[in-house]
Amino acid sequence: MENISSDIENITKEIKKEKSDTITYKVVEKFVSINGEGQKAGQLAIFIRFQGCNLNCVYCDTKWANQKEAKYHLMTAQQIIDYIKSTNVKNVTLTGGEPLRQENIMYLLEKLSLIENINVEIETNGSVSIAETKKIKNSPSITLDYKLPDSNMEKYMDLSNYDFLESKDTVKFVCSSINDLKKAKDIIEKYSLTSKCKVYLSSVFEKITPAEIVDFMKEHNMNDINLQLQMHKYIWDPNLKGV
């Protein structure tokens, strides 16, 4: 009997391994840099960028990654984990494209949640539900965009996401104009975002100056909100990939 049960156990392990080997993710680039955005800005981070997006923001700086014909590597969760471990860097940013639209992404998130001493963050566009991610013990922190009017994608925002926000999460408003800033202010107030999570205002590179954002913040007494510049675009050529 003992032999039979250990045989069954081995077969089950084998089936599970085969299943995990067949789940792959479309990775268009992976690299280590300093995080130029978010709560870990300025710290070393590993970036895993997934192919494909369900939105098409006017200002998107990674349109190349969204194309169907973008060159990608198929990686299993284990290969992604091996890469992460090989770097000795503890911050991991999953981005894209839209990471939460990657097939079987929950499987990868669950695997990553089991690794000790890493911080996983997901950059997501605000149109996809984050509810499932919150069921994971040690869930990744979420940086959730609210796509403002000038992005042309505002109508796709899933506002039910705000019921799931925690203090480790961030809502980010990428602004192109004063009109965008006004809308950001309305949404921040309507959903009491500063009491739920971190709130960032960022500028679309070369569309609005950081000084204009600061002036708007001063004029409207916007406390508990961070101005966020994409640091990597000041350090390197703003069009450079892999930094």
Ligand X SMILES: C[S@@+](CC[C@H](N)C(=O)[O-])C[C@H]1O[C@@H](n2cnc3c(N)ncnc32)[C@H](O)[C@@H]1O
For helices 105-113 and 77-87, give the axis angle rounded to 10 degrees: 40
Q: Which amino acid is at 163?
A: D
For ligand 2KA, which is the closer residue by CB, 64 or 156?
64
Residues 103-132, interacting with ligand 2KA (CB under 6 A): 123
Distance (Å, whole) CA 190 – CA 198? 15
Q: Applying CB under 6 A, does 228 fall inside the site for ligand X? A: no
Residues 42-71, interacting with ligand SF4 (CB under 6 A): 53, 55-57, 60, 62, 66
Contact in structure between 90 and 119 (CB atoms under 8 Å): yes
How buried is 115 (Cβ within 10 angstroms: 0-12 exposed, 13-18 middle, 19+ buried)?
middle
For ligand X, which is the closer residue by CB, 174 or 187?
174
Residue 243 binding result from ligand SF4, ligand 2KA, ligand X, none, given CB thresholds of 5 to 8 Å by partner type: ligand 2KA
| Cα–chain center distance at 217 | 25
Whether the CA torsion 204, 208, 210, 212 is positive or negative: it is negative
Of 18-26, 92-100, 111-119, 133-141: span binding ligand X (CB under 6 A): 92-100
- Name which of 167, 178, 166, 165 is nearest 126 in CA terms: 165
Q: Applying CB under 6 A, does 197 fall inside the site for ligand X? A: no
Of 79-87, 113-121, 123-131, 209-217: span binding ligand X (CB under 6 A): 123-131
Q: Give the DSSP H/E element, type plus range, for residue 126.
A: none
Site size for ligand SF4 (CB under 6 A): 11
- Enumerate the known binding-site residues: 34-36, 49, 53, 57, 59-62, 95, 97
| Positions that interact with ligand 2KA (CB under 6 A) | 33-37, 47, 62, 93, 95, 123, 232, 243
